[in-house]
Amino acid sequence: MVINLKNPNLYNNRELSWLQFNTRVLKQAQDESLPLLERLKFLAIYGTNLDEFYMIRVAGLKKLFAAGIIVSGADKLTPLQQLKEIRKYLHQEQQVLGHCMSEILKKLEHEGIYVKSYDEVNQHEKNQLNRYFNEHIYPVIIPIAVDATHPFPHLNNLSFGLIVKLSDNEDESIERFGIIRVPRVLSRFVELGNGTYIPIESVVAKRVEDLFPGYNLIEYASFRVTRNADMEIEEEEADDFMEILEEGLKLRRKGEMVRLEIGSDSDDEIISFFNQHTNVYKDDIYKFHTFLNLSSLWQIVGNKDFAHLLPAPFKPKSLPPFDNDENIFTTLEKQDVLMYHPYESFDPVVKLIQIAAKDNDVVSIKMTLYRSGTNSPIVKALMDASESGKQVTVMVELKARFDEENNLIWAKALEKSGAHVIYGIRGFKVHAKAALITRKQNAKLKQYAHLGTGNYNPTTAKIYTDISYMTSKDKITNDLTRFFHFLTGFSKKGKLEELYMSPTQIKPKILSLIHNETRKGKDGKIIAKINSLVDDDVIRALYKASQAGVQIDLIVRGICCLKPDIKNVSENIRVISILGKYLEHPRVFYFKNDASQVYISSADWMPRNLVRRIELLTAIKDKVSKEKVIQILKLQCSDNTLAHQLQSDGSYIKVKKGDAKSINNHKLLEDFVNKIAKATKKETNSSLQQLASRLFIES
């Protein structure tokens, strides 16, 4: 029987799959086994994720619908069908969200953390709040009358404030409406210093009559708006890419309004007033019984006085061969090193660039920067290197969404220091993570490389799991030289020999690797760890492999358009998603019958990564590094604590451990690395690296 693998019923919708991912984040907040502030943290992450989803994905669907374009993925849902499903899903989930929030806040009260309204505190605390209003809020808050002579104000993306209905002191029959904008410079909660937090709108509402003298407050409702934040940059018309990006950032704040969040105590008249000026579609208005802006919960989560309500912190370890004072270049000449962050510290990567910046024998440093973060020690080291006369070339991707402004600042600073800065490749986003250092050695040039699955960001490297691979192998460094030449110059081919680069090489290589396992039938085995799986061709190749009997384990954190466990199609495919203390971020692949077997990449299996971005795929041929990766993959496939398994209907069910031993891969890896770190302190012989690898693999 021939099955049509293009049948829409064989594919999950991308957007609905993403919503399932965010629901798994919400389930973490509902997990009573987690510490309370950890649960609150997941609520903050849920809210931040949803903001971005509406700003980008929903806004994009609205634009497609408005333009009358019927564009769909392999599932064939139209933009309008997707919008309807998204709204239905989110309105239903609001009830779960509200209940979860109330439960956590109630339990936090037993620990001394309170979220209260102005009316719920005692007189002494009210006096404190009044002083705070006079000294900190009143000077910066913005009361805006709205009438025939006062037009409705423009509200920037993620603007927060109050809608107020007022009556004239002298004639109560005269009613007016106003807006009070709460600037972002003000904290979301007023903290009283004793673990008590007051939502700022509760304080402002009590002083409305000071903001609108001569008027009495009848009713108010808090609100928050979300706008289209996806920038369209016409690169062909951009003589100065930095200048046009700066314009795009300004326009982002003024994009079309796509969502209105409003307090549940708002009446129809207030909503009607607001919406006649903003014209938000009724199903994109969400009433909240809790306070708005879940991402602001970080303010409470970050209270160091209650750190005991978070999981025990883990300090990343520098393991052999990076636990001594040996010159890092000497180390990399002896061996390749693969690290798994955040269990293994990101410090060696930072030190590699810092040491290169100071080393008189280093002649050049080349790097790609995507999300380097604020106060980046790596960027500062690159600036120092440039100022000391070294040739520094940096590809700063200015189109890294929501990091554009930060990247603009770094790009300008690097240029000022004398570095050669590239702002992107026309038509492509550069997402590859690579560094190349060239050093004089015995009258010759020797090169050292770092390739990673994550960003050059020491802060996120403590909370994201990622892989770093460091080597001085000539085949790889020579390819990286060609790679950077491709970025800085002109090339019609852009083809590498040892590495693989998208948009031309990675997808054909992945399809070839899958096909090779397919030919092996039941002797085939694939394990792939990725953030998202969307590409139709890759999914169909996996379906064919499954039909041939290949055993396939997919560890997909977020979107997965593939449907597992469909008879005669995907019965041999298992898909899990792991959510826990750390954000799973690596792209790692194992193909049993391939000569190299193990690959790491910056690219997910999505069309944008495989055909619209500059990405890198690296084979891990070093035996110790390869075994380390395989064991990590096997451990994650065995996880029965943090893993959720994808069902054929698109839903997820938490993996049941039954009578089996509990396997929490995050906790086990922390324990493994602590064990290695303690063991190496006692070890005095030259086999420290072998010891670390053995413990990491066998523990």
Map residue 579 onto helix, strand or coil.
Answer: coil
431 catalytic? Reply is yes
Token couple for 366: 């080349």
- What backbone phi and psi angles, to 5 degrees, belong to 689? -65, -40
- Tell me the residue type at 25: V
User: Do 176 and 96 meet the contact criterion of CB atoms below 8 Å apart?
Assistant: no
Torsion of CA 532, 533, 536, 538, to 10 degrees: 130
Structure tokens, 212: 């609108």
CA distance 75 to 583: 28
691, 680 in Cβ contact below 8 A?
Answer: yes
**Contact status, residue 594 vs residue 516, Cβ threshold 8 Å:** yes
Q: How many residues does the chain have?
A: 699
Distance CA 564, CA 546 (A): 10
- Which tokens go with 337? 């090193």
Q: Are strands 500-502 and 613-619 parallel, antiparallel or unpaired?
A: antiparallel
Catalytic residue of the set 341, 431, 450, 666: 431
Burial class (CB in 10 A: 0-12, 13-18, 19+), 567: exposed
CA-nearest of 305, 296, 291, 298 to 102 is: 291
Cβ atoms 668, 582 nearer than 8 A: no
CA 394/CA 399 separation, integer angstroms: 15
Q: Distance of CA 135 to CAs 159, 204, 212, 296, 555, Å? A: 22, 13, 18, 22, 52
Residues 420, 394 contacting (CB under 8 angstroms) = yes
398-401 contacts at long range (C-beta below 8 A, 24 or more positions apart): 398/241, 398/242, 398/245, 398/423, 398/424, 399/233, 399/245, 399/424, 399/429, 400/370, 400/371, 400/429, 401/56, 401/230
d(CA 401, CA 192): 36
Nearby residues of 444 by Cβ (< 8 Å), 6 or more positions away: none
| Pairing of the two strands 257-263 and 215-227 | antiparallel
Which secondary structure element, helix H or strand E, spans residue 546, and what is its range? helix 536-547
Q: Which residues contact 436 (CB under 8 A, 6 or more apart)?
A: 364, 365, 366, 367, 447, 448, 449, 477, 480, 481, 484
CA-closest candidate to residue 56, choices 255, 229, 293: 229
466/454 Cα distance (integer angstroms) = 6
Q: How many helices (H) and strands (E) does the chain have?
A: 21, 27
- Residues in CB range of 3: below 8 A, 6 or more apart: 547, 568, 569
C-alpha span between 336 and 253 (Å, rounded):
46
Residue with tokens 């030289």, as numbered in its chain: 481
**Residues known to be catalytic:** 431
